Structure 1
Amino acid sequence: MVIAIGFEGSANKLGIGIIKDGEVLSNCRTTYITPPGAGFLPKETALHHRENVLAVLKDAINESKIDVKDIDVVCYTKGPGMGAPLATVAVVARTVAQLWNKPLLGVNHCIGHIEMGRIITGAKNPTILYVSGGNTQVIAFCRKRYRIVGETIDIAVGNCLDRFARILKLSNAPSPGYNIEQLAKKGKKCVTLPYCVKGMDVSFSGILTYMEERAATLLKEGYTEEDLCFSLQEHVFAMLVETSERALAHCNSTEMMIVGGVGCNERLQEMMEIMCQERGATLFATDERYCIDNGLMIAHAGAEMYKSGIRMKWEDCTILQRYRTDAVEATWRKD
């Protein structure tokens, strides 16, 4: 039996979760929300995490109803992510590990999403679409590593949606992507936009630039904000479904799993479900509790690492802003 606590703070979500052999004991989270039309900067995001981390930690421990002496391992997000927020939460995790005299493990953020998705959905060996504000990757497991078989060559799909929300001055509460999703449900007319798939890779900067330059004109021509949100979603999600389908076929897989913050988008899940049905595959996806960045996923991935015998030297428990998914050897999984 392993009880793990996980600290996540790679972007604007601060999360702390505790897990006991796959059983969720607590999953607490707070989000740094900026005014409409504005993004979040590393310095201000780190300040938000610094001001709230102790309160979230207290809530997580109280909700779990365990004593800290029963925790076996402290886990934190090593990367990838924004430097200042990552460092802020890592310092707290290091301090807690020392105070409680517990081993410390740095977890790859992307691996956290994948392992959380697997345990919640029950997927065995899925082809994975990992979509969030900072990452867009198509992934398949092979020879002890999560191999990236396709990815964005510029910005992530979540970043594309967030930046478009700023153009329309949409609220950042609860998230820009969620508000785009709700508007898109009311869209009726589809604008033809650039569609950029290059082999197994995708590009979103061109479609974003196109929308930035023409959004005002399109609104004057009779298109609504709902139409523009609908059009953008349909195009970027079609690109993701196309590359995912190609990976599914190449890997001869019968399971498709969506993880990451954008993964809770109902329209993306619907489009992916249609593709999976046509290929005789099963789609696995979760809701915002586990898709959006959370400490529980770091705790679970860290627990899997710990049970497989992974230990980290204190001097290796740093942060790494560019921490590739395929840089981690998944010793806890069988080929």
Structure 2
Amino acid sequence: MVIAIGFEGSANKLGIGIIRDGKVISNRRRTYISPPGEGFLPKATAEHHRANILELLHETLTEAEVTPEEIDVICYTKGPGMGSPLVSVAVVARTVAQLWCKPIIGVNHCIGHIEMGRLVTKCSNPIVLYVSGGNTQVIAYSNQRYRIFGETIDIAVGNCLDRFARVLKLSNDPSPGYNIEQLAKGGVNFVSLPYVVKGMDVSFSGLLSYIEEHAQELLDSGKYQAADLCYSLQETVFAMLVEITERAMAQFGSDEVLVVGGVGCNERLQQMMAEMCRERGGTLYATDERYCIDNGAMIAQAGIEMFNCQMYTPWEETTCTQRYRTDEVEVEWRACSS
């Protein structure tokens, strides 16, 4: 029986989770929420994490009814992410590992999402669409690596949605993307927007610039409401994501799709992706906000997989890497289980 604790703080979500042999026994999270119309800055986000992490650690251990002596391994997010928040959480993980005399494992944030999705949905070997505020990738496992088949060539889809939410001065509570999703449900008039797919890659920056530039003009015309703009933006960017995911399914010969990352809990994205999968005779696997949004349990789960393969992180390498590619990690545990 392996018990792992995971520390996540790569962006504005601070999470600590504990997993015991494939079961989540605690998954606590606190979110730094900036004022409407503003994003979250690294310094302020790191301050939020430092102010809350010790209390959150106590809450997590209490909820799980686990003592430090029972924990087998400490896991933390090594990257990718924002530098200051990453480091603020890594320092606590390193300190705890020393105080509790436990091995420590640095986890790739993206792989944490994938392994959590595989654990929760029980899918076998899917095409993975990883969509969040900082990442947009289409991924498939091959030869002990999670290979990136396609990705954004500029900004991530979550960042695109978040930045448009600032234009509309939408609240960041609970998240700008969620509030765009809710508004979009009332949209009826579609605005044609730039649709940019280049092979297996997508581009969102031109689309964002276009809708930012024309938003006020469209609203002033009286023909369109904010709900229409949110609806049009979602439909366009999600159609782009469905297209490259379907192409990856054909290329890889897969009949499974797993959607992970914060944008992955968007119900409209799941609906569009599920329809595409049905037309191909495939299956969509997705989770809700408990596991799609950044959390500590996903770091613990990936850490358990690495722990079981004795992939410990040497102490001198327990650093953080803001740009840490998904395909940089040797996925030894998949080779062992296949």
TM-score (norm 2): 0.99
Q: Tell me the SS of whatever aligns to 2:284.
A: strand
Q: Tell me the SS of whatever aligns to 1:329.
A: coil
CA displacement at 1:31 relative to structure 2: 0.1
CA displacement at 1:313 relative to structure 2: 0.9
Q: Which residue of 1 aligns with 2:58?
A: 58
CA displacement at 1:258 relative to structure 2: 0.1
Q: Which residue of 2 aligns with 1:141?
A: 141
Q: Deviations over 1:132-162 (max 9, x none)?
A: 0000000000000000000000000000000
AA matched with 1:236:
V
In structure 2, C-alpha distance between the alignment counterparts of 1:152 and 1:55, rounded to whole Å: 37
Aligned pair 1:21/2:21, yes or no? yes
In structure 2, C-alpha distance between the alignment counterparts of 1:128 and 1:107, rounded to whole Å: 18
Q: Tell me the SS of whatever aligns to 2:170.
A: coil
CA displacement at 1:288 relative to structure 2: 0.1
CA displacement at 1:87 relative to structure 2: 0.4
Q: Which residue of 2 aligns with 1:96?
A: 96
Q: Which residue of 1 aligns with 2:332?
A: 331
CA displacement at 1:276 relative to structure 2: 0.1
Aligned pair 1:170/2:185, yes or no? no
CA displacement at 1:67 relative to structure 2: 1.2
Q: Deviations over 1:150-179 (max 9, x none)?
A: 000000000000000000000000000000
CA displacement at 1:100 relative to structure 2: 0.3
Q: Tell me the SS of whatever aligns to 2:150.
A: strand
In structure 1, C-alpha distance between the alignment counterparts of 2:34 and 2:42, rounded to whole Å: 12
Please show how residues 66-85 of structure 1 align to structure 2 within 5 Å: 66-85=66-85
Q: Tell me the SS of whatever aligns to 2:179.
A: helix
Q: Which residue of 1 aligns with 2:245?
A: 244
Q: Deviations over 1:167-195 (max 9, x none)?
A: 00000000000000000000000000000
AA matched with 1:224:
Q
Aligned pair 1:283/2:284, yes or no? yes
Q: Which residue of 2 aligns with 1:313?
A: 314
CA displacement at 1:117 relative to structure 2: 0.2
CA displacement at 1:311 relative to structure 2: 1.4
Q: Deviations over 1:56-112 (max 9, x none)?
A: 101100000011101000000000000000000000000000000000100000000
Query: Alignment RMSD, CA only?
Result: 0.5
Q: Which residue of 1 aligns with 2:160?
A: 160
Aligned pair 1:35/2:35, yes or no? yes
Aligned length: 335
AA matched with 2:245:
S
In structure 2, C-alpha distance between the alignment counterparts of 1:301 and 1:311, rounded to whole Å: 12
Q: Which residue of 2 aligns with 1:292?
A: 293
AA matched with 1:21:
D
CA displacement at 1:312 relative to structure 2: 1.5
Q: Tell me the SS of whatever aligns to 1:333.
A: helix
Q: Tell me the SS of whatever aligns to 1:110.
A: helix
AA matched with 1:275:
M
Q: Tell me the SS of whatever aligns to 2:332.
A: coil
In structure 1, C-alpha distance between the alignment counterparts of 2:131 and 2:212, rounded to whole Å: 22
Please show how residues 198-217 of structure 1 align to structure 2 within 5 Å: 198-217=198-217
CA displacement at 1:323 relative to structure 2: 0.2
In structure 1, C-alpha distance between the alignment counterparts of 2:333 and 2:57, rounded to whole Å: 27
Does 83-92 or 306-315 show the bigger shift? 306-315
AA matched with 2:45:
T
CA displacement at 1:221 relative to structure 2: 1.2
Q: List alignment gaps of at least 5 residues for structure 2.
A: none
CA displacement at 1:308 relative to structure 2: 1.2
Q: Tell me the SS of whatever aligns to 1:332.
A: helix
AA matched with 1:123:
C
Q: Which residue of 1 aligns with 2:262?
A: 261
CA displacement at 1:324 relative to structure 2: 0.2
Identity of aligned residues (%): 70
CA displacement at 1:309 relative to structure 2: 1.6
In structure 1, C-alpha distance between the alignment counterparts of 2:50 and 2:314, rounded to whole Å: 25
